[in-house]
Structure 1
Amino acid sequence: MSDEIAENGTTNGDVPEIELIIKASTIDGRRKGACLFCQEYFMDLYLLAELKTISLKVTTVDMQKPPPDFRTNFEATHPPILIDNGLAILENEKIERHIMKSVPGGHNLFVQDKEVASLIENLYSKLKLVLVRKDEQKSAALRAHLGRIDALLERRGTRFLTGDTMCCFDCELMPRLQHIRVAGKYFVDFEIPTSFRALWRYMYHMYQLDAFTQSCPADQDIINHYKLQQLAAGAALRSAPRPPARPPPALKMKKHEELETPTFTTSIPIDVSDVNNAE
């Protein structure tokens, strides 16, 4: 289909093989793209593959030039797509339900925690508002939301959101935090305050995990993801029957972005020794 970028787990047939098809980079069409849902399910399944309840195969597909076999099998469907024993699951909610109910070990990832669920639910929409509106009020709302997550982590004193082992909520939250770090900084100079020490401690632990680092897109791909969104939004406004008096300028793309060495922001702005001592 396209480039296979990761395999984990055993290959001797004693566990089921799960294939996850994810969006490829919009820069080079090969490496991991910046789809949040793709990374979330990649992390879920990677954790299960580490436990050897499944063997995981991850395949990237360039949706700007999808290969013929992908078009034949899935038409215009966009990844993520999960394939389990020949069965293709195409919708995000169905993929999540399938991991929880049908993938060996998957039920252990899905814990019930209404407080955590409500905290994560609207975080990404606040980032989108910051990138669209670009005003301090929206940035303040995003900082306040992150502050509530920091307060929860500080109060609970656990390594991850619901305990000392990862769950589905961590696989959902951390990719969003990475987009906030990278895209927020690039587009509006937004930074997560260093005073949110429990949140930074959480991110530090996540950066040590293969489940995150193996699934994480490059900074350039996260940035390009939002550039393309803004280009599309600008084009839609300019073609509207009554376009605004001052439509947003079209973003210029670099000519040789595909030649850049991918970078990954995984540093933390607080002392690591302080992080370790806080355990």
Structure 2
Amino acid sequence: MADDDSMNGIHDEVPEIELIIKASTIDGRRKGACLFCQEYFMDLYLLAELKTIRLKVTTVDMQKPPPDFRTNFEATPPPILVDNGLAVLENEKIERHIMKNVPGGHNLFVQDKEVATLIENLYSKLKLMLLKKDDTKTSSLMSHLRKIDEHLERKDTRFLTGDTMCCFDCELMPRLQHIRVAGKYFVDFEIPAEFKSLWRYMYHMYQLDAFTQSCPADQDIINHYKLQQFCIFIDPYWKNVKMKKHEELETPTFTTSIPVNVDIN
């Protein structure tokens, strides 16, 4: 297992939380493209910035898991949270543990049914579009993004529920990154420049260490979908798919800037 450095400058009496995440499917060491891993990484990073915890992030190559990982967790895939020797293995239990047991965690998990409904099923619409691009699936994703854009315009705040980040932002932004990177690569989909409030939101997120430190490389997001089951099938819409993992030879890149044709002012 590869360890990232814990966040420094925090007193020893602050509890250490370890988050085990999936490693890159390209090099087996850097951060992989698991959405849940990035979501909880962001949650915990925000708490570490507030100095309520010390955060240790460990990457595990699931293609070659080390013996100590197999001994401790058998076949359980990350994300896995370890708090004072207690391993929390399931996504819902991880959320509940952060909310109830991790210092400061309750502040991240706000109640907002409108926002919860707003971002629900966004990822499934991306996967449907990637499976086979057609006007219906593209329009469905576009309509969903438009609703988020309209919510942000009405709200007129930096984040989904206000001017402070919460769990919903840690859930939404990794999905928007996958839409941006994988959508462009596989089916030439781009978030429209007219969604100014959505782009402004992404701009603010790109300024935050919680996102940039947890964000996988573009190549890892692309390879994540190449390894999905639907990549096995030959489809004329997948014109850009190359099954050779040429990403292994590339220097990792990170799409974390706003396109020049987007006006966020």
Match of 1:174 in 2: 173
- Aligned-residue CA RMSD (Å): 1.8
Find the aligned partners of 1:21 and 1:179 in 2 and give their Cα distance.
21
Find the aligned partners of 2:13 and 2:141 in 1 and give their Cα distance.
46
AA aligned opposite 1:227: K
The one-character-per-residue Cα deviations of 1:31-67 (angstroms, maximum 9, x if unpaired) are: 0000000000000000000000000000000000000
Match of 2:215 in 1: 216
Match of 2:2 in 1: 3
Find the aligned partners of 1:118 and 1:17 in 2 and give their Cα distance.
33
Tell me the percent identity.
80
Find the aligned partners of 1:188 and 1:7 in 2 and give their Cα distance.
38
Verify the 8 A CA contact 2:108 2:167 in the aligned structure 1: yes
Please give the TM-score of this superposition, normalised by the length of structure 2.
Answer: 0.94
Q: Counterparts of 1:72-221 in structure 2 under 5 Å?
A: 72-221=71-220
Q: Secondary structure at the match of 1:8?
A: coil
Find the aligned partners of 1:255 and 1:148 in 2 and give their Cα distance.
36
Q: Which has the larger radius of gyration?
A: 1
Match of 1:22 in 2: 21
Residue segments in structure 2 that go unaligned for 5+ positions in a row: none
Give, in angstroms, the shift of residue 225 of structure 1. Answer: 0.2
Larger mean CA deviation between 2-11 and 159-168 belongs to: 2-11
Verify the 8 A CA contact 1:9 1:50 in the aligned structure 2: no
Larger mean CA deviation between 254-263 and 109-118 belongs to: 254-263
Residue segments in structure 1 that go unaligned for 5+ positions in a row: 238-246
Distance 1:258 1:194, change over 3 A: same
Verify the 8 A CA contact 1:9 1:56 in the aligned structure 2: no
Larger mean CA deviation between 53-62 and 7-16 belongs to: 7-16
Find the aligned partners of 2:161 and 2:261 in 1 and give their Cα distance.
24
Give the aligned length: 262
Distance 1:39 1:102, change over 3 A: same
Match of 1:57 in 2: 56
AA aligned opposite 1:107: H
Please give the TM-score of this superposition, normalised by the length of structure 1.
Answer: 0.89
Give, in angstroms, the shift of residue 7 of structure 1. Answer: 1.9
Which of the numbers 222, 227, 250 marks the counterpart of 1:260? 250
The one-character-per-residue Cα deviations of 1:105-157 (angstroms, maximum 9, x if unpaired) are: 00000111111100111100100110012111101110110000000000010
